[in-house]
Structure 1
Amino acid sequence: MSTDRHEPAGEDLERWVAAQAAALGVDPSAVDVDRVLDLAREVAHGVGRPAVPLTGFLAGYAVGAGSGDRAALERVLARLTAAARTWGDDDPGTGAP
């Protein structure tokens, strides 16, 4: 078990995801932990830490509102990761100010 109650790591993280997915009726294999954490890192560095949970919510909402399949998840994660990497650039396609 992790010593920091706010930072599940390794096995604890996998157990947490499996338990919460089951409780929510979500197939645990649909959760790509590494990709979601990669997205969180990109958003934290490219946009800001407060944007991480909001982006995670948006990703889940977008996938759930669509087909909900693995391909939809991949498209949403790719789109959000690309947007986070270019946030603040002059590219109007990112939605940056």
Structure 2
Amino acid sequence: MDLSAVRVEEVQNVLNAMQKILECPICLELIKEPVSTKCDHIFCKFCMLKLLNQKKGPSQCPLCKNDITKRYIICIMVGGWKQQWQENVKIL
């Protein structure tokens, strides 16, 4: 068994898992300007604001259906993680 092939596969599995974590559940793209909801789900800022602006009053989280409002949207800083992940993908 070729150990280098096993390690590459393990690295690929980790990168795929990271991509899933960094993917916006609304647009299915890599999260841009991430924001977190009160229910701790993470989305692109643009996607979340678009969702919240569709109707007056609270909207529902696309993942858990809890009420969400602009008041409880929190900007988070994951830019470093995102950049590192993108660089690692380019290496493979």
Q: Which structure has the highest helix share of the two?
A: 1
- Per the normalisation by structure 1, the TM-score is 0.22
Q: Which structure has the highest strand share of the two?
A: 2
- Per the normalisation by structure 2, the TM-score is 0.23
* Rg (Cα) greater in structure: 2
